[in-house]
Amino acid sequence: MANYENITIEKSMYQTKGKSLSEVLESLDPSENYKGTALEGLDAFGRQLKRFDIKVSGKNSDCVEKFFRTANSAALFPEYVSRAIRQGMEQADMLPDIVATVTNIDGMDYRSITSAPTEDDKSLKIVAEGAAIPQTVVKVQENLVKLHKRGRMLVASYEALRFQRLDLFTVTLNQIGAYIRRSQLKDAVEIILNGENGNDGCEVITADSTGTLTYGDLLKLWAGLNPYELNTILAPTDAVKAILAMDEMKDSVAGLNFQGTGKMVTPLGATLLHVPSLPSGKIIGLDKNCALEMVQAGEIITDYDKLIDRQLERATITCTAGFSRIFKDSAKALSY
């Protein structure tokens, strides 16, 4: 069994290409070696927190200064920050409901693939003997995927934070993560509506009536997306309110579920997502299985040098990502 108490934690571990500190520690101290022991269920980073007796959550959580008792424990602080940010991103994460696949890249230049089949291409016809087989053309995008760096700078001195409980500090970091995810969702919506070039967005379907969203309009969006599956609807606040107020959405069981859990009714079986950044008077329907690719240039990046050296007021936390459409007609907007 690897002895987690004898690992020397250094700044250089953060420079390991393609790996977070947690992953580096896991390679040095595999969790599988702890099966059947009291430490089973902790990952390598969790075992290091236990080694230095650092409690990051609960009513008895330690103060920030506990990380800086030793050089080894101080080197854990940037990873704690990254994990708290990631936790906040996951709590506010709606991207899995609209992203088909996530691609991780090492650089900043990436060209995705796309396909725009015609109506004739979408039908699998009988192929007579000797006849040509219909083709689905998949090609490389003309433009690079636009990557956007999102993040925050910590504006607080070490002296101001040293006696703050880690569970309270975690809440602040969670909110930074939530901000990053909401910004990335806005980027994804922008790509769907306006396209990679800003002028080749998704097809817009016009509702039968202006200014009022009806159940018939939702059916029109559902039909217009064929042969793709309408499994996700993105809607601004006014549209969400209109959908929830529809007579067709006032099923008694569904109403009780919304009032008791806050989980919204799903029109036509699609997941309804509240996206305040969407323009009023427009909703998006898409097939999440083939609409978007998310491209990430690494994971969350922290100024580990500054965090370890207690220069918190100058430390930045960033995440770089972009989006690209795969099947361009698998997402459509409804204007009402």
Q: Kindly write down the DSSP assignment for every residue of 25-61, as one continuous string.
A: HHHHS-GGGGTTSTTTT--HHHHHHHHTT---SSTTP
pLDDT in tens, 178-199: 999 999 999 999 999 999 888 8
pLDDT in tens, 135-165: 677 777 777 899 999 988 888 899 999 999 9
CA 304 – CA 306 distance, rounded (Å): 5
pLDDT in tens, 10-39: 999 999 988 999 999 999 999 999 999 999
CA distances from 331 to 72, 283, 325 (A): 49, 11, 9
pLDDT in tens, 262-301: 565 677 889 999 999 899 999 999 999 999 999 999 889 9
Q: Residue 1 corresponds to which tokens in the numbers above?
A: 């069994």
**Neighbour count for residue 203 (Cβ, 10 Å):** 11
Residue 54: CB partners within 8 Å, gap ≥ 6? 62, 66, 67, 73, 76, 166
CA 189 to chain centre: 13
Q: Which of 329, 317, 78 is nearest to 183 (CA)?
A: 317
Quick check: helix, strand or coil at residue 42?
coil
Rounded to two decimals, the pTM is 0.85
Mean pLDDT, residues 229-234: 96
Q: What mean pLDDT, rounded, does the chain reach?
A: 89
150, β-bridge pairs: 319
Q: Residue 142 corresponds to which tokens in the numbers above?
A: 């003309």
User: Would you give the DSSP letter of residue 149?
Assistant: E
Q: Which of 99, 297, 78, 281 is nearest to 189 (CA)?
A: 99
Mean pLDDT, residues 234-239: 96
Using 50, 70 and 90 to split pLDDT, how confident is the model at 251? low
CA 237 – CA 142 distance, rounded (Å): 35
CA dihedral 124, 130, 131, 133 (to 10 degrees): 50
**Neighbour count for residue 138 (Cβ, 10 Å):** 12
